[in-house]
Amino acid sequence: MITGSLVALITPMKSDGSIDKQKLDELVEYHVAAGTHGIVAVGTTGESATLTYDEHANVIRQVVQKVNGRIPVIAGTGANSTHEAIDLTQRAKEAGADACLLVVPYYNRPTQEGLFLHFKAIAEAVDIPQILYNVPGRTACDMSNETVLRLTSIPNIVGIKDATGDLERAKELINAVPETFAVYSGDDPTAVGLMLLGGKGNISVTANVAPSQVAKAAELAIAGDAEAAHEVDAGIKGLHKSLFVEPNPIPVKWAAAQLGLCENAIRLPLTPLSEQYFAEVSAALDAAGVSK
């Protein structure tokens, strides 16, 4: 089972919008050195929505090759078309990913039965560990706990990223799923709370710029040390908030650029962080003890 701080990795780009392969390699080394427990490549934070199929597969392959088995690599391969999700998942398997992260289909708003059949079809088509991803604030479709529980019967569906921020709901799910099924947080402000309830990790945006702190908080929370986990988390609480002043990954890419980790480049229709937020994000970086 994959556990701990799993960074939702940004995809570094150059000013012309092309992927910065050198910076991508450097980011991998940065996270391995900082103690990040795993990398999620080409998820929402990695701008999966605006990468081409080939770029998507190539970024996953490059991350896998650079990691070289040192920590797990989870590939974002979800889509609102079941056929496309199967194709992306197959490519991730061929690239050597350890697992795949599959978001609830967005925009077309399937029924709960449609969700069950969608994820069942992907799992049956591609033999790789698969993690569900429920983020109704982005997808306009909320997968119920009941549907998740149905999906736990499929052997290679091994976990879920819960980005609802609802700890009562997460608690109910954690208490209901098999011990072999992992519930991960996808919401940095409530991640420590979810892990203290029995969650197995945090798929984190904040970890892009404060990897060692997020990793330490995850280790402590999973070990059940609530006081110490909350103490570490308190130091990065401002980042949890400021990295969402505009839609993710706009703020975190700006923050990463301030640390010299990448250029402040992002693909349309997303735009660089508005100047009115520079001071707030910068102050959160300073408060977290993060500097270039």
**Per-residue pLDDT for 195 more than 80?**
yes
**Per-residue pLDDT for 140 more than 70?**
yes
Q: What is the pLDDT of residues 11-25, one digit of tens each?
A: 999 999 999 999 999
Burial of 133: CB neighbours in 10 Å, binned 0-12, 13-18, 19+: buried
Tokens representing 190? 């409530």
Q: Which residue from 30, 36, 21 is spatially nearest to 292, judged by alpha carbons?
A: 30
Residue 139 labeled ligand binder: no
**Per-residue pLDDT for 291 more than 80?**
no
All residues at 6 or more sequence positions from 208 whose CB lies less than 8 Å from its CB, including other chains: 7, 8, 9, 10, 45, 252, 255, 256, 261
* Adjacent-strand bridge partners of 184: 161, 201
Predicted pLDDT of residue 248: 97
- Angstrom distance (rounded) from CA 34 to CA 7: 11
Radius of gyration in angstroms for the set of CA atoms belonging to the chain, rounded to a whole number: 18
Predicted pLDDT of residue 235: 97
All residues at 6 or more sequence positions from 22 whose CB lies less than 8 Å from its CB, including other chains: none
State whether residue 87 is helix, strand or coil: helix
Residue 164 lies in a domain: yes
Q: What is the pLDDT of residues 243-262, one digit of tens each?
A: 999 999 999 999 999 999 99
Q: Which residue from 212, 192, 213 is spatially nearest to 202, judged by alpha carbons?
A: 192
Residue 275 lies in a domain: no
Kindly report the CATH number assigned to the domain that includes residue 47.
3.20.20.70
Tokens representing 122? 């992907």
- Res. 205 pLDDT band, cuts 50 70 90: very high
Mean pLDDT over all residues of the chain?
97
Helices and strands in the chain: count of H runs, count of E runs:
13, 8
- Res. 216 pLDDT band, cuts 50 70 90: very high
Residue 222 labeled ligand binder: no
Residue 280 lies in a domain: no
Residue 255 lies in a domain: no
Q: What is the pLDDT of residues 47-69, one digit of tens each?
A: 999 999 999 999 999 999 999 99
- Angstrom distance (rounded) from CA 24 to CA 290: 20
**Long-range CB contact pairs, 111-115, < 8 A, 24+:** 112/143, 112/144, 112/146, 112/147, 115/141, 115/143, 115/147
- Res. 231 pLDDT band, cuts 50 70 90: very high
Total domains in the fold of the chain: 1
Residue 263 lies in a domain: no
Catalytic residues: 133, 161
DSSP for residue 24: H
Burial of 15: CB neighbours in 10 Å, binned 0-12, 13-18, 19+: exposed
The length of the chain in residues reads 292
For 228, the domain range is 4-236
* Cβ contact 283:238 at 8 Å: yes
Average pLDDT over residues 260-281: 97
Residue 292 lies in a domain: no
**Per-residue pLDDT for 292 more than 80?**
no
Residue 262 lies in a domain: no
* Cβ contact 190:184 at 8 Å: no
* Cβ contact 44:161 at 8 Å: no
Average pLDDT over residues 178-192: 97
**pLDDT above 70: percentage of residues in the chain:** 100
Residue 11 lies in a domain: yes
